[in-house]
Structure 1
């Protein structure tokens, strides 16, 4: 379905990703409405309409279904019931519930990827202390225990390097679903985002390199400092996954490039991604532009990297320092308008673009000190 300019695009979620989606939609000539319970949501700064209601509020969902031309989401914890209400009332939500169903549960996610013949780290399901002990015996050390649902930026995860770690984690283990993964010995962490249009065409962004600190993305480097052949392999795997899982809309995938030369999928998210914020200045189209285009039925091509780029995440503890820094012409700061700058809270990002990638990385690290 081709969505005409001037029509409403609805976004479930009002965080910074929703804000940047609304900005892109506005530039492309569309109107936006956002469903977000927080009055102070940063997406409300850009949306034409802000419905201040819970994500599962039936009246609001019915209103969205009847008054928007297409609906998307900016985070993956939308309930399946909300999707049902939208669809039952004539709402057009091309992504549907399938990407959420798979990506909300780590065991389903990794199993779905393996079923396509694509590698992940070895993993086992864990439900209780008995299955945890069995999984550790089979997987060994080092490994990492993660909650099957929820958890982000390193939350809900425990690294196991020895029997002492196993004993400590066993003591706090709850009766819930987990997944135990063998830790991959990797050269670097990579990510790639693709968008599939409602017309079936796919646009795949360049492969980037990610550096994390304390489980939170710190710096993204575009292009990744790896061989071109490896970059192409990652892009092909990304395309294979979005096609094989029959997803529509955006799909961001994080990878490990193993020291054994293998590429392992770590995790994925059916939404815009922190590691693709560099696209706002480094590519001919941003990840938000492509998501809007794809959901509005336009034909997609692979976006092009027009400038070497480095993205620096701005956390709560960084805000005062970054805002006082004297930025250069090739450095663009994006603040999300979130209010209180809490420690480790994502408050914005800084894009640095230029010719010399190593100089950009060095400059980003200087600004981060």
Structure 2
């Protein structure tokens, strides 16, 4: 088992080699850690800035054994890591954070909603359906329109369909692959917000100011932070975050997406047991960003302050938008973060910029 707090010079493992893994690896390096990345792609964004890259599937026993041989603590950059992989690493004596309970909740949208409601974190009304017939019946019972999502996987607007009439539910179910789904009632919200929160191994917590988020086609386009919110709204969000962190016995950073309703109350849309796109503003808006905070938490270090020193507009660079790097580099208040991805497909997140403004 690892000696905690993890001393500099130790190796921290990351399951996943995408942009979040890359930024986690860079933050870990600043704190003196080496990083080992387990990723299927030998030329991954995270692997190219890590000390070690282990090429293999996330559930490959041999690859997991290689990771366990070099890493004292392991974390992950996305929530669809197989739960058995976490259990395998733990059986090999490796600390994994966040733990399997957080993964189990985040990987199944029904389990997620049930956990949130049981923790006192309100959500929209929802129903489960395992067959096309159940989907039709649930839509009729809830009343259309409803948002149908696959219970597992799906991100950036993928794996979901709006159902405008109960008669359309069977076709939507088939279009989503005929797999178990969740049906969600629409939220009559005025804006989308999010809160990035962290919990250390000692139970200490830290929260960043709320961000206001704007999506296009199911993909986050920009975040504004700190968001202009009332003290009451901020308190609501912090209370929700505290309940989630405690309920999961969480270690690390979590992203919590929220709907602000017309009456000033909040609903939780979903949680992500990892660093989050809506927290990228912290890289240039706070002394310690969400990536360093996550590394500190999983390594057993004290959490860092979350006080902002600038207002930030974070803009995702999608597809060939990252090719404007030269123009962006001439903007004095713009900070560029490129992910090193080779193929700029339409809608693919290739990087982001943080545009700084005075608080």
TM-score normalised to the size of structure 2?
A: 0.95
Q: Does the CA-based 8 Å contact 1:198-1:294 persist in structure 2?
A: yes
Task: Give the alignment of 1:275-294 within 5 angstroms.
Answer: 275-294=278-297
Structure 1 residue 174 displacement after superposition: 4.5
1:2–1:126 CA distance, 2 compared to 1 (3 A): same
Q: Which residue of structure 1 aligns with residue 235 of structure 2?
A: 232
Does residue 348 (structure 1) correspond to residue 351 (structure 2)? The answer is: yes
Does residue 43 (structure 1) correspond to residue 46 (structure 2)? The answer is: yes
Q: Which residue of structure 2 aligns with residue 328 of structure 1?
A: 331
1:121–1:87 CA distance, 2 compared to 1 (3 A): same
Does residue 135 (structure 1) correspond to residue 138 (structure 2)? The answer is: yes
Does residue 53 (structure 1) correspond to residue 64 (structure 2)? The answer is: no
Q: Does the CA-based 8 Å contact 1:94-1:198 persist in structure 2?
A: no
Q: Does the CA-based 8 Å contact 1:66-1:90 persist in structure 2?
A: no
Q: Which residue of structure 2 aligns with residue 27 of structure 1?
A: 30
Q: Which residue of structure 2 aligns with residue 181 of structure 1?
A: 184
Distance in 1 separating the partners of 2:174 and 2:286: 48
Q: Which residue of structure 1 aligns with residue 112 of structure 2?
A: 109
Distance in 1 separating the partners of 2:176 and 2:160: 11
Aligned counterpart for 1:99 among listed residues 82, 98, 102:
102
Structure 1 residue 15 displacement after superposition: 0.5
In the TM superposition, structure 1's runs of 4+ consecutive aligned residues that sit over 6 Å from their partners are: none
Q: Which residue of structure 2 aligns with residue 4 of structure 1?
A: 7
For residues 123-178 of structure 1, what are the alpha-carbon distances to aligned partners after superposition, in whole Å with 9 as ceiling and x for unaligned? 00011122112211222123200000011111111112345754652564654210
Structure 1 residue 327 displacement after superposition: 3.5
Does residue 260 (structure 1) correspond to residue 263 (structure 2)? The answer is: yes
Distance in 2 separating the partners of 1:251 and 1:167: 34
For residues 303-344 of structure 1, what are the alpha-carbon distances to aligned partners after superposition, in whole Å with 9 as ceiling and x for unaligned? 111101110000004223454446321101111000010000
Aligned counterpart for 2:310 among listed residues 307, 320, 323:
307
For residues 258-302 of structure 1, what are the alpha-carbon distances to aligned partners after superposition, in whole Å with 9 as ceiling and x for unaligned? 113221000111111111011000011100000111111122255
Aligned counterpart for 1:219 among listed residues 222, 235, 257:
222
Q: Does the CA-based 8 Å contact 2:41-2:55 persist in structure 1?
A: yes
Unaligned runs of 5+ in 1: 357-369
1:280–1:176 CA distance, 2 compared to 1 (3 A): same
Structure 1 residue 211 displacement after superposition: 0.2
Distance in 1 separating the partners of 2:326 and 2:100: 40
Distance in 1 separating the partners of 2:96 and 2:225: 31
Q: Which residue of structure 1 aligns with residue 203 of structure 2?
A: 200
Distance in 2 separating the partners of 1:94 and 1:75: 12
SS in 2 for 1:219: strand
1:197–1:170 CA distance, 2 compared to 1 (3 A): closer
Which one is further off, 65-74 or 103-112?
Answer: 65-74
Q: Does the CA-based 8 Å contact 1:55-1:82 persist in structure 2?
A: yes
Q: Does the CA-based 8 Å contact 1:201-1:301 persist in structure 2?
A: no
1:326–1:17 CA distance, 2 compared to 1 (3 A): closer
User: How large is the RMSD of aligned CA atoms in angstroms?
Assistant: 1.7
Distance in 1 separating the partners of 2:282 and 2:228: 17
1:156–1:323 CA distance, 2 compared to 1 (3 A): farther
Distance in 1 separating the partners of 2:57 and 2:173: 36
TM-score normalised to the size of structure 1?
A: 0.92
Distance in 1 separating the partners of 2:347 and 2:225: 23
SS in 2 for 1:42: coil
Q: Which residue of structure 2 aligns with residue 89 of structure 1?
A: 92
For residues 158-200 of structure 1, what are the alpha-carbon distances to aligned partners after superposition, in whole Å with 9 as ceiling and x for unaligned? 1123457546525646542100000101010011111111121
